[in-house]
Amino acid sequence: WRATGIYGYPQHQNKHLTCDLINSLQNSSNNNNWLLLGDLNLIIKDSEKYGGNPLENNITMLFRSTLNSCDLQDLGYKGNIYTWANKQQSHNLIKARLDRFLANSAWKTLFPNYCNSHLLRYKSDHAPILLDFNSISGQATKSIGPKPIRYEQIWTREPSHYQIVKENWQNSRGPAFQKLTTTLSSLHRWGNQIFGVIPRRIKTLQVDLQILHEQNGAQNLTNQIREKEQELDNVLECEETWWKQRSRELWLLHGDKNTKYFHMKANIRRSKNKIDAITDSQGHKHHEETEIEKVLVDHFMCLFTKQNTQNITETIQVVEGKINNDMYQELSKDFTKEEVFQAMKDMKSLAAPDPDGLPALFYHNYWEIIGEEVTNMVLDVLNNNGDPSHLNSTYICLIPKVKNPSSPSEYRPISLCNVTLKIITKTLANRIKNILPDIISPNQSAFIKGRLITDNTLIASEIFHYLSHTKRKNGFVGLKTDMAKAYDRVEWDFLEATLTNVLSRLISKAQKEKLIHGVTISHGAPEITHLLFADDSLLFCRATSGEMMFSKGVSEDTKKEISSILPMNVVNHFSKYLGMPTAMGRSKKQIFNFIREKIWKKLKGWKEKHLSFAGRGTLIKAVAQAIPTYLMSSFLIPKGVCEQLVQMICNFWWGSSTDHRKIHWIRWSKVCTQKKHGGMGFRDLRAFNEALLAKQGWRLITNPNSLVA
């Protein structure tokens, strides 16, 4: 079937052109199932208009004749008959039905169960019209236990929320974790009484407003309408906040009236979060919910179960002690309430939901009330070996590693813990991070403040370039690995052996004993054997029969011999390392096309019509222009690619698409100027790229002893 949207000519002398357009559209497609909709600015009968001049019969008859010749029928309506009003009072008030859905007989046969609703006219002279013709009710997911209550951000809109928490906290008895639960329950009951069911309140206010609109012709109700609209505004802002909290879109500006956008994002998240099918280890596909649950539980029970490890003693022998006496004294000091407060303050207010329903925002808002007892509870665990088991309620959340995952191994499990437990672990992490630079190898670029992932990508890029062009007879091999279970599996012996450091030490030991040889790309440069970033590792060594991308000097026999030992594919170059291209061909534009496609997918998924210009601007700055930052920190992006990125972002800003172009009212260079100079403060991507590369140069100058320098 096809749908056609029309905006009819509003001028009286041109209304016949709308009828001509409808006639011409009838035969413009081979698809006979036709739906026509829009603001036609035409009326079928006298009852569809109130006030103003009487209808002219010639236009009305022409419209009726057009509908007959095209076999178009009005689909009726529910609600107020009028879809437009001029917002005047008394005898100057004019109302009419200008917006409608029309369909031919074939379409009505295809969709017999349709319903056209005239919705509330709110802050516009037109009322929206909604056609529901194919409602699909999805199968509800099986409920596992009672639905948990959660702290709602909208509660803070009511001034008495602080006093409610204070009274309940002071009147509750028991340890802090029990008082937190009791306080949330009381706050939830209070919130339901004050705010009620928001959709129901909105519907009630809309009905009241509709009644006032209908009575406005008989009496002057303009002030009452304004008051009711203000009340509806407040409830709609609550609805916006409610959906925003569930959409996980934390970047957007407050008050952007993006309820529809947030609703869409929340629904998309729900659809993505649902696992419709899973393939087990035997290759069998399961669709039933109970079977999916069993496959996932079995997989992760195996993953979280200790396995038999071998050669652990020999492996640990290469680990050297790193903690000196001063470090030990610093780590052994009692934790303080200031450290606990800092850990709490550093947390994101609305991160992923916790089992107890209390996000960090709750602690931020009411720390003056609950802080002392929560701090004492945390310090009891940290300083007195208190039992934290009552705090350790955890959700296991599965994050897809790939698009459209099909097996349990393609999901990464993460734990969603209560904020109280996070405060404990973050306090520990803040204490430890001060000594991490002294105990973590310089080959590891993760976990340390001041070390950047781009250090590894720059070094790797130089080495790959060297391997591709070296003419040395003794060839080299680059080995790219990913410790797939380094952080997924709870393998205590493995963790105790500090795997990453062990691997680094083993390689260094073999290098000292001349068992392997690293890559030296120039005179005076250090010999690089390995690079580490979290659980990604990249190994470089001279290609002898003990070790694996091959340089030109490696013979085919050696390649085959190494390939027979290591179950890895032989490649001419790695496609990417830590998200960066590892080899440059003649067409740099083609190599960097992936960043253009990444931004295009983002822009394609966003609906600019759901966002104001303020919302679009924040989205461009926070996401679209931030995506290339990582790549631009290491490479000079081709000018053509930058221009394509700018064009896509520019079209999104103005609302243009391939099917519908809109006027770009101001030059993009003007839009990119600072706000104080009349622009929007968007980045000039080319200049930003050059600035990031200059920053890398400055780091090399100011950190001459770093590995990348």
* AA identity, residue 319: V
- The helix or strand, by DSSP H or E, that contains position 610, with its residue range, turns out to be none
pLDDT at 9: 92
Q: Is the pLDDT higher at 336 or at 267?
A: 336
Do 288 and 296 meet the contact criterion of CB atoms below 8 Å apart? no
pLDDT at 478: 64
pLDDT at 46: 79
Calpha distance 13→22 (Å, rounded): 17
pLDDT at 442 over 80: no
Arithmetic mean of pLDDT over the chain:
77
- The confidence band for 542, taking pLDDT boundaries of 50, 70 and 90, is very low
Report the 10 Å Cβ neighbour count for 58. Answer: 10
Least confident range from 373-377, 639-643, 654-658: namely: 654-658
Q: Is the pLDDT higher at 596 or at 361?
A: 361
Q: Is the pLDDT higher at 398 or at 109?
A: 398
pLDDT at 616: 79
- The confidence band for 497, taking pLDDT boundaries of 50, 70 and 90, is very low
pLDDT at 428: 93
The token pair that represents 220 in the structure block:
């002057």
pLDDT at 137: 35
Residue 50, beta-bridge partner list: 95
Tokens 């026999």: give the residue: 557
Do 406 and 295 meet the contact criterion of CB atoms below 8 Å apart? no
User: What is the tally of helices (H) and strands (E) in the chain?
Assistant: 26, 18
- The confidence band for 356, taking pLDDT boundaries of 50, 70 and 90, is confident
- The confidence band for 362, taking pLDDT boundaries of 50, 70 and 90, is very high
Q: Is the pLDDT higher at 579 or at 632?
A: 632
pLDDT at 582 over 70: no
Reported as a single tens digit per residue, the pLDDT across 18-39 is 999 998 888 777 778 899 999 9
Do 217 and 51 meet the contact criterion of CB atoms below 8 Å apart? yes
pLDDT at 494 over 50: no
Q: Pairing between strand 49-50 and 72-74?
A: unpaired
Least confident range from 46-50, 581-585, 663-667: namely: 581-585
The token pair that represents 348 in the structure block:
């994101």
pLDDT at 698: 86
Reported as a single tens digit per residue, the pLDDT across 133-169 is 764 333 334 445 566 788 888 888 888 999 999 999 9
- The confidence band for 225, taking pLDDT boundaries of 50, 70 and 90, is confident
pLDDT at 695: 86
pLDDT at 587 over 70: no
**Domains, the chain, with CATH or none:** 2-132 (3.60.10.10), 324-438 (no CATH), 441-581 (no CATH), 588-702 (no CATH)
Reported as a single tens digit per residue, the pLDDT across 91-102 is 888 999 999 999
pLDDT at 577 over 80: no
pLDDT at 460: 73
- Could you tell me the pTM of the whole model? 0.56
Return the closest-CA partner of residue 82 out of 207, 206, 210. 210
> What Cα–Cα distance (Å) separates residue 109 from each residue in 32, 37, 114, 413, 562?
11, 18, 10, 49, 68
Least confident range from 482-496, 509-523, 575-589, 597-611: namely: 482-496
- The confidence band for 569, taking pLDDT boundaries of 50, 70 and 90, is low
pLDDT at 310: 63
Reported as a single tens digit per residue, the pLDDT across 35-91 is 999 999 998 887 888 888 887 778 887 887 788 778 788 888 877 889 999 888 878
pLDDT at 702 over 70: yes
Q: What is the mean pLDDT of residues 366-390?
A: 93
pLDDT at 340: 95
Reported as a single tens digit per residue, the pLDDT across 166-183 is 999 999 888 998 999 999
DSSP string covering 405-453? --SGGGEEEEEEE-HHHHHHHHHHHHHHTTTHHHHS-TTB-SSSTT--H
pLDDT at 77: 84
Q: What is the mean pLDDT of residues 216-232?
A: 78
pLDDT at 323: 82
Report the 10 Å Cβ neighbour count for 438. Answer: 11
Q: What is the mean pLDDT of residues 355-374?
A: 92
Calpha distance 241→235 (Å, rounded): 10
Least confident range from 42-46, 111-115, 519-523, 551-555: namely: 519-523
Do 383 and 337 meet the contact criterion of CB atoms below 8 Å apart? no
- The confidence band for 543, taking pLDDT boundaries of 50, 70 and 90, is very low
- The confidence band for 112, taking pLDDT boundaries of 50, 70 and 90, is confident
Calpha distance 355→294 (Å, rounded): 22
72-86, 331-345, 392-406, 665-679: which is most confident: 331-345
- The confidence band for 645, taking pLDDT boundaries of 50, 70 and 90, is confident
The strands making up 476-482's β-sheet, listed across from edge to edge, are 476-482, 536-542, 530-533
> What Cα–Cα distance (Å) separates residue 386 from each residue in 381, 382, 424?
4, 7, 11
Q: Is the pLDDT higher at 548 or at 595?
A: 595
pLDDT at 366: 93
Tokens 């309940």: give the residue: 168
The token pair that represents 481 in the structure block:
């690995």
Q: Is the pLDDT higher at 399 or at 463?
A: 399
